[in-house]
């Protein structure tokens, strides 16, 4: 019998494959099916070692090792499936997903998610020019700041796309937290496009409310080096293997 994570993996591969590219209507239909499957995933489905989720109190960098543990479940040229485990009180710094789709499903604990979308609002362009005229800053990115979300294991997955909620900061709340991430295309070398898809880190430098936007606000983000207090160690995935060949044999 095919396990849930294998069903998710196979459907993710079929949804996000780029050669040949999936027609838009088929993509949309598979994407929704995938979202529904992802919303059912639990730590048991991926055989997650519960010791990785144990709460050792507030994270102490001098005794607790890495603040974040990364576990790769599956990766090919078109999609990455992985798990991030955050110790109590730590964060994935504000980062982007250039040109990528993503689903983020909390499977343990709770996280707060502060998302941003790239913005080309005219008012922001003017504000940006004003700021740059007084103090030149490299790597400034105008963005829409969305309301902060509290997301637990009983909530549906958060979604991001190339044009929407593509940047976020994630903090564990009231204990360790873990989430499954499906990202497409993957970070790193994109062999299909011949480019490097790097992860960039940002910091908010200016936030101001805009009356015509009801709940969102416009902000300016500045590109920063990877924060020194953030790093990952790795854990081995020991759940059911996602086998790409099983799909290709079926020709779908
Ligand atoms: Fe992310």
The residue among 189, 193, 186 whose CA lies nearest residue 101 is 186
Q: Please give the distance, rounded to the nearest whole angstrom, from the Cα atom of residue 133 to the centre of ligand 1.
A: 32
CATH classification at residue 137: 2.60.120.10
The H-or-E segment that residue 104 falls in is: strand 101-108
Q: Please give the distance, rounded to the nearest whole angstrom, from the Cα atom of residue 134 to the centre of ligand 1.
A: 32
Q: Please give the distance, rounded to the nearest whole angstrom, from the Cα atom of residue 94 to the centre of ligand 1.
A: 8
Q: Please give the distance, rounded to the nearest whole angstrom, from the Cα atom of residue 1 to the centre of ligand 1.
A: 32
pLDDT of residue 157: 98
The number of domains in the chain is 1
> Does a structural domain hold residue 154?
yes
pLDDT of residue 133: 73
Q: What is the mean pLDDT of residues 161-187?
A: 97
> Does a structural domain hold residue 247?
no
> Does a structural domain hold residue 228?
yes
Separation CA 197–CA 190 (nearest Å): 7
> Does a structural domain hold residue 72?
yes
Q: Please give the distance, rounded to the nearest whole angstrom, from the Cα atom of residue 183 to the centre of ligand 1.
A: 9
Q: Please give the distance, rounded to the nearest whole angstrom, from the Cα atom of residue 87 to the centre of ligand 1.
A: 16
> Does a structural domain hold residue 26?
yes
Q: Please give the distance, rounded to the nearest whole angstrom, from the Cα atom of residue 170 to the centre of ligand 1.
A: 8
Residue 141 contacts residue 204 (beta carbons within 8 Å) = no
Considering 56-65, 73-82, 118-127, the range whose residues carry the highest mean pLDDT is: 73-82
pLDDT of residue 7: 96
Mean confidence (pLDDT) of the chain: 90
Question: Looking at the DSSP assignment, which residues form a beta bridge with residue 117?
Answer: 144
With bands split at pLDDT 50, 70 and 90, how would you rate the model's confidence at 1? confident
pLDDT of residue 25: 97
Neighbouring C-alpha atoms within 13 Å toward the C-beta of 229: 10
pLDDT of residue 151: 98
pLDDT of residue 34: 98
pLDDT of residue 124: 63
pLDDT at 249 over 60: no
Q: What is the mean pLDDT of residues 229-238?
A: 96
Q: Please give the distance, rounded to the nearest whole angstrom, from the Cα atom of residue 8 to the centre of ligand 1.
A: 19
Q: Which residue has the tokens 């102490």?
A: 60
User: In terms of residue numbers, what domain contains 114?
Assistant: 4-242
Q: Please give the distance, rounded to the nearest whole angstrom, from the Cα atom of residue 168 to the centre of ligand 1.
A: 6
pLDDT of residue 248: 63
> Does a structural domain hold residue 251?
no
Q: Please give the distance, rounded to the nearest whole angstrom, from the Cα atom of residue 172 to the centre of ligand 1.
A: 14
Q: Please give the distance, rounded to the nearest whole angstrom, from the Cα atom of residue 92 to the centre of ligand 1.
A: 8
pLDDT more than 70, % of the chain: 88
Separation CA 227–CA 35 (nearest Å): 31
With bands split at pLDDT 50, 70 and 90, how would you rate the model's confidence at 121? low
Q: Please give the distance, rounded to the nearest whole angstrom, from the Cα atom of residue 177 to the centre of ligand 1.
A: 14
Q: What is the mean pLDDT of residues 85-106?
A: 97
For β-strands 68-75 and 232-234, DSSP reports them as parallel
Structure-model confidence comparison of residues 204 and 106, the more confident one:
106
> Does a structural domain hold residue 249?
no
Q: What are phi and psi of 103, to 5 degrees?
A: -130, 135
Q: Please give the distance, rounded to the nearest whole angstrom, from the Cα atom of residue 232 to the centre of ligand 1.
A: 14
Q: Please give the distance, rounded to the nearest whole angstrom, from the Cα atom of residue 21 to the centre of ligand 1.
A: 24
Rg (CA), the chain: 19
Q: Please give the distance, rounded to the nearest whole angstrom, from the Cα atom of residue 208 to the centre of ligand 1.
A: 24
Tokens standing for residue 217: 């606000």
> Does a structural domain hold residue 118?
yes
Q: Please give the distance, rounded to the nearest whole angstrom, from the Cα atom of residue 203 to the centre of ligand 1.
A: 15
Three-class SS state of 33: helix
Q: Please give the distance, rounded to the nearest whole angstrom, from the Cα atom of residue 241 to the centre of ligand 1.
A: 23
Q: Please give the distance, rounded to the nearest whole angstrom, from the Cα atom of residue 20 to the centre of ligand 1.
A: 26
With bands split at pLDDT 50, 70 and 90, how would you rate the model's confidence at 127? low
pLDDT of residue 136: 65
Tokens standing for residue 159: 């979604």
Structure-model confidence comparison of residues 179 and 145, the more confident one:
179
Asked if residue 185 has a cis previous peptide bond (ω within 30° of 0), the answer is yes
pLDDT more than 90, % of the chain: 73
pLDDT at 247 over 90: no
pLDDT at 69 over 90: yes
Q: What are phi and psi of 126, to 5 degrees?
A: -65, -45
């Amino acid at each position: 019998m095919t396990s849930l994570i294998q069903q998710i993996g196979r459907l993710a591969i079929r949804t996000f494959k780029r050669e040949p590219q999936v027609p838009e209507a088929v993509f949309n239909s598979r994407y929704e099916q995938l979202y529904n499957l992802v919303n059912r995933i639990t730590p048991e489905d991926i055989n997650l070692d519960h010791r990785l989720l144990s709460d050792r109190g507030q994270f102490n960098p001098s005794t607790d090792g890495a603040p974040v543990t990364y576990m790769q479940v599956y990766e090919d040229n078109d999609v990455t499936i992985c798990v991030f485990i955050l110790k109590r009180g730590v964060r994935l710094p504000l980062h982007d997903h250039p040109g990528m789709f993503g689903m983020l499903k909390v499977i343990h604990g709770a996280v707060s998610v502060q998302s941003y979308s790239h913005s080309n609002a005219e008012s922001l362009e003017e504000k940006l020019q004003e700021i740059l005229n007084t103090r030149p800053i490299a790597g400034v990115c105008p963005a829409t700041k969305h309301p902060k979300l509290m997301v637990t294991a009983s909530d549906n997955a958060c979604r991001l796309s190339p044009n929407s909620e593509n940047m976020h900061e994630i903090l564990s709340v009231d204990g360790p937290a873990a989430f499954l991430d499906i990202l497409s295309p993957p970070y790193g070398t994109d062999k299909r496009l011949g480019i490097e898809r790097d992860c960039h880190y940002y910091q908010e430098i200016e936030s101001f409310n805009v009356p015509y936007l009801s709940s969102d606000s416009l902000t300016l983000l500045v590109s920063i080096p990877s924060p020194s207090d953030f790093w990952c160690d790795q854990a081995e995935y020991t759940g059911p293997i996602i086998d790409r060949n099983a799909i290709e044999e079926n020709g779908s």
